[in-house]
A = this chain, B = another copy of it.
Amino acid sequence: MRFKKIFTIGISESSFDVEYWKKIDALTEKRAFLQKDSSEIITSLNDVDCLLVNPFVFKVEKEYIDAAPKLKYIGVLATAYAKVDCAYAASKGIAVTNIPGYSTEAVAEFVFAILLEHLRELEKGKIQARKGNYSEAGFSATEIKNKKFGILGLGRIGGRVAEIALGFGADVRYWSRNRKKEFEVKGIKYEDVDRLIANSDFLSLHFAQTKETELFLNEKRIQRLKKGAIVINTAPMELIDISALEKRLSKEDITFILDHSDEMSEENLKKLSKYKNFIIYPPIAYVTKEARIAKQKIFVENIENFLKGTPINKVN
């Protein structure tokens, strides 16, 4: 079994190594790229039976699904699939697959990278030393050990963050929709969500974006954050009430660190970026060589398995 026509949207030639493009091409008769803002998208979808999309660039909404009567499969090039109308696709008999877990380690390690960078004033240290000034005067830092390390959402990534934090000797607490006894036996403690938010020295967000988690960090909860708390968000900014965050940042008694992808409006970005205690990185949390390889591998295996009639990583 092969597809007749694969369309890729928001996926560039450089997204995959040559060997993976070859594997994809072996699974279809034709393949075409489409730019996300192409006016032809709707008409082009007419004879497409497989759609491969980067959901951060292109949202697969009802109208696109309606425009693709032959569509059987949507391959999402990400773990998050909230930007694809999965229920509607299912109602049309279209399978949607995602790539779970490929960036678990990449993101979990990044949480500690950006936390430690901030705690140890590394940018300042590097710049100062490069200028030939090797004085430690004026530096101050806090250790992770023995601090309350709060984790919201103990899924794959949150779970790994919890384990690494345990290695640092932190007092690790979590709140998640479901209790995770397998983590609790390791010494990771479950805590009521509002107590967790109020008590954490470091708070790392690891919810998937769903209706329940949107604006989870609302005004009340943002007000409750401990003085001096450092919040790390490698999850979507949709989890956070931006106005309330701005209000709290203006008090200069918390720090917020994130890796930003497309989810915030220019206006919101500008609003927050004027605060020194708002630290922003490009969306590089998931960018590692290991994650890139795993991502391509799983993405292609998803297509192969669907064609064989033994679908894996189906999310609808």
Contact of A282 among B129, B145, B273 (CB under 8 A): B129
Segment of A67-75, A83-91, A164-172 in the binding face: A164-172
Contact of A113 among B105, B110, B120, B167 (CB under 8 A): B120
Report the nearest B residue to A106, measured CB to CB. Answer: B143
Q: A112-B112, A142-B289, A143-B288 are in contact. List 7 more A-B contacts (CB 8 A).
A: A133-B282, A134-B262, A136-B284, A142-B288, A143-B289, A145-B290, A167-B168
A140 in contact with B260 (CB, 8 Å):
no
**What chain B residues lie within 8 Å of A133 (beta carbons)?**
282
Distance A144 CA – B105 CA, assembled complex (angstroms): 9
Q: How large is the interface on A (under 10, 10 to 19, 20 to 34, 35 or more residues)?
A: 35 or more
A287 in contact with B167 (CB, 8 Å):
no
Name the distance in Å between A113's Cβ and chain B's nearest Cβ: 4
> Can you report 16 residue pairs joining A to B where beta carbons are below 8 Å apart?
A109-B116, A112-B116, A113-B116, A113-B120, A114-B120, A116-B116, A120-B284, A121-B284, A122-B122, A134-B280, A136-B283, A139-B282, A141-B284, A145-B290, A164-B167, A166-B167
Name the distance in Å between A233's Cβ and chain B's nearest Cβ: 14
Confirm or deny: A33 has a beta carbon within 8 angstroms of a beta carbon on chain B.
no
Interface residues of A in 97-144 (CB under 8 A from B): 105-106, 109-110, 112-114, 116-117, 119-123, 125-126, 128-130, 133-136, 139-144
Report the nearest B residue to A165, measured CB to CB. Answer: B167
B122 in contact with A117 (CB, 8 Å):
yes
**What chain B residues lie within 8 Å of A168 (beta carbons)?**
109, 164, 167
B105 in contact with A145 (CB, 8 Å):
yes
B113 in contact with A117 (CB, 8 Å):
yes
Contact of A141 among B106, B122, B166, B261 (CB under 8 A): B106
Confirm or deny: A279 has a beta carbon within 8 angstroms of a beta carbon on chain B.
yes
Confirm or deny: A163 has a beta carbon within 8 angstroms of a beta carbon on chain B.
yes
Distance A227 CA – B105 CA, assembled complex (angstroms): 23
* 6 residue pairs, one from A and one from B, having the closest CB atoms: A167-B167, A113-B116, A141-B288, A125-B281, A113-B120, A105-B145
Name the distance in Å between A106's Cβ and chain B's nearest Cβ: 6
**What chain B residues lie within 8 Å of A113 (beta carbons)?**
116-117, 119-120, 122
**What chain B residues lie within 8 Å of A291 (beta carbons)?**
143
